[in-house]
Amino acid sequence: MKHTLIENIKRFLFSIFLFISVLYFPAIADENHFEYNHISIFNQAGNLSADDSILTHSINNTIKYRFESIPYISVIPDSDIEMNKNLIDIQKLWDFNKEEIIQVKKLLKTNIILIGRHIEIVPGEIQSEFCVIYLPLDETIRKTKFEIRLKFLNIDEFQVKIFEKLIKELPFSVGDSFWTNKVLITNYNAFWLLGMGLQQLEHDNHNAAINALIEAVKKDPGARDIYFLLGQYYATSRFDYKQAIYYLDKTLEIQNNDPVAYYWQGFIYYLIADYESAIISFEKSYNILPEKVETILFLATLYEEEGNYDFSETFYRKAIKLVPNRASTWYSLASVLSIIGKNDAAINALRRTLELDNKSFFDLVKTDTDFAAMKHNKDFIQLIEDFR
């Protein structure tokens, strides 16, 4: 009898343990299943008046720039959205059309879609509408739509209020630096001119856009976002890299710990093949914001190009730690490992690449001359056989 009782107590305790395990299992799995967010921001400008469209551009742009310096977040570049704009129907996204959402996820490799439109309902009062579509790893789609009504009195206070309301609805935390590093536009006219410049750029009226932006910096010489936009514009649209560096330097004069400005400076040096300067700028960006995977990948690539393979391997591994499921990073790591003769590790990295994306990489693995030295390695032959 006593024996049965002890047995039953044991069973009871064991079942409680199992029950707790079941309850906590998803949480444990979630913790280990880390997700790095790639956010794409759209202006839902349809059916807006010209003035509301200007407002939408400036508010969404301010949001975009703030998000770029949040840890574990990458903002999808405008050029990627531009490249695919004929294939994306923003109205359908706004209406939560599932096919459209899946299409955008595929095209932009994004897992958060944010659409915002902002209307001045009465003078001095803004109604902002946001649509957030979140595509987590479990392939579900979570979506929400909400409205904010705000008084448009003090422009920098207004921007902070927008962030506060918006961030509550987003599936990530922004970190403390988000609130401390807020070099915002403080002049209403400058905010307006920024939106006007962006709107003109969207319509390819480049001269009008530049005039508006130059006027904007005159109104608010401390406006980091406007200098930054000018730097980006000269780099990506005019290919005037000297001018781009000039405006990014101005950005860094305003905020000398701006990781995104250093990132862009590095990117421009990379474009003009000044690899030494590029490494310096990317290192600065990395030291301030070590969670930005694009910076890490650039450093890995640049060190590889400079022949510093140990550093390159270290940075590829850091990138993989942040974004473990990106096949191209595993593939690049495999290339470096193969060059320095770490064949076993290279084959393991290739195996991971093919597990993640066999379709894109199988032929590459077979033909890439970086792996030519391993062609007769039995493990490499086996790898090809396994994924054929």
Q: Which residues are within 8 A (CB) of 375 and not within 5 positions of it... i.e. 6 or more apart?
A: none
In angstroms, give the least distance from the CB of 304 to another protein: 9
Residue 96: Cβ within 10 Å count: 14
With tokens 């996820």, the residue in question is 105
Please give the Cα distance from 54 to 45 (Å, whole number).
9
Write down the least CB distance from residue 214 to another protein, Å.
21
Nearest to another protein of 119, 327 (CB atom): 327
Of 207 and 369, nearer to another protein (C-beta) is 369
Tokens for 35? 């997700």
* Rounded Cα gap, residues 133 and 364, in angstroms: 34
Cβ–Cβ < 8 Å for 69, 178: yes
CB 291 within 8 A of CB 260: no
Distance spanning both ends of the chain, measured CA to CA: 62
- Pick between residue 246 and residue 275 the one whose CB is nearest to another protein: 275
- In whole angstroms, the minimum distance from the beta carbon of 67 to another protein comes to 16
| Residue among 126 and 133 whose Cβ is closer to another protein | 133
- Considering the complex, what minimum distance in angstroms separates the CB of residue 35 from another protein? 12
Between 30 and 164, whose beta carbon lies closer to another protein? 30
Give least dist CB 70 to another protein, A.
Answer: 18
Cβ closest to another protein, residue 336 vs residue 347: 336
* Shortest distance, position 107 Cβ to another protein, whole Å: 7
Amino acid at 49: S
Nearer to another protein, 113 or 126 (CB): 113
Least distance between another protein and beta carbon 381 (Å): 20
